[in-house]
Structure 1
Amino acid sequence: MVDESRDESKKEQMAIVLRFVDAKGMIRERFLDLVHVRDTLSVTLKDSLWSQLLQYQFDVTKIRGQGYDGASNMRGQWNGLQALVRKNCPYAYYVHCFAHRLQLAL
């Protein structure tokens, strides 16, 4: 799961959270990193995400899902972050984050 936001100093930040199945078959969720990004273009976010995953030696070919907010840079069918990730990981299905959907309804 990835979400990006501008902090008080007007810098764009991207939070990365991983949900995975451990060796015992238990579902785990862990905060991975908070990364400064120069902008929120989908290409920039994908490059930063990949850089962090590879830095921690994750096998990106095993990604099976991705969750983001509904912004066009994230959900875009052709050029959104989810589409760019699926070019490398065709089984990484995108889910619009339920918490963001609920916030839109309220």
Structure 2
Amino acid sequence: MAIVLRYVDKEGFIRERFFDLVHVKETTSSPLKEICDVLSHLCLNVKDIRGQRYDGASNMRGEFKGSQALLLKECPFAYYIHCLAHRLQLTLVAASKEVILIAQFFSYLTIIINLIMSSCKRQDQLRDAQASYIANMIAIEELESGKRKNQIGTLQRARDTRRGSHLTSLCSLLKMFDATCSVIPSMYPRRK
């Protein structure tokens, strides 16, 4: 669990500082004690908290047993706000599903990636095809060779709740497009 404090400085500017990364043993239990321990270690009083923001996980935002509810009992001024970046991501995903062409595009992208990544054999074929492609491109001097260049990657799945994952997914397919195109026909051999 990352603990980040946002505050207003003496000049009236909003500041945000990362304070600690805390290991939480159970995601079902409240990390309230860990938050209080970190704040007390920094000589900050829990009663001074005026707001709290989480990514929407039920164990954090739960109305009765979530961390936000328990912290609100300790400090009645610590109002809960759903993480705005997470909310924006969910809004963009929902809006993109309303545009038929975009929804179809990402649906096809997901199908292609799932078909290949659901099989260890196809993943091996993809890696072999990508290694062959890279070796060929280096041989004809289309790619530079060197340390940490032209590493064989993998296809990345898009996640609706992760910012940038749709772009990462698309970029991974573009980077491995030729290798992917060579693996797909092997999945459906022609019948004679």
Q: TM-score, normalised by structure 1?
A: 0.80
- In structure 1, the residue matched to 2:71 is 85
Q: CA deviation at 1:42?
A: 4.0
Aligned residue among 10, 25, 37 for 2:24 = 37
Q: CA deviation at 1:46?
A: 0.8
**Per-residue CA shift, 1:65-88, capped at 9, x if unaligned?**
000011110111111110010011
Moved over 4 A (4+): none
1: CA distance between counterparts of 2:58 and 2:76? Answer: 20
Which of the pair has more CA radius of gyration? 2
Q: Which moved more, 1:45-54 or 1:19-28?
A: 19-28
- In structure 2, the residue matched to 1:22 is 9
Structure 2 stretches of 5 or more lacking a match?
94-192
- In structure 1, the residue matched to 2:34 is 48
Contact 1:42 1:74 (C-alpha < 8 Å) held by counterparts: no
SS at match of 1:52: helix
Q: Amino acid of the residue matched to residue 18 of structure 1?
A: L
Q: Amino acid of the residue matched to residue 26 of structure 2?
A: D
- What is the number of equivalent residue pairs in this alignment? 92
Q: TM-score, normalised by structure 2?
A: 0.46
The structure that is helix-richer by fraction is 2
Pairing 1:67-86 to 2, within 5 Å after superposition:
67-86=53-72
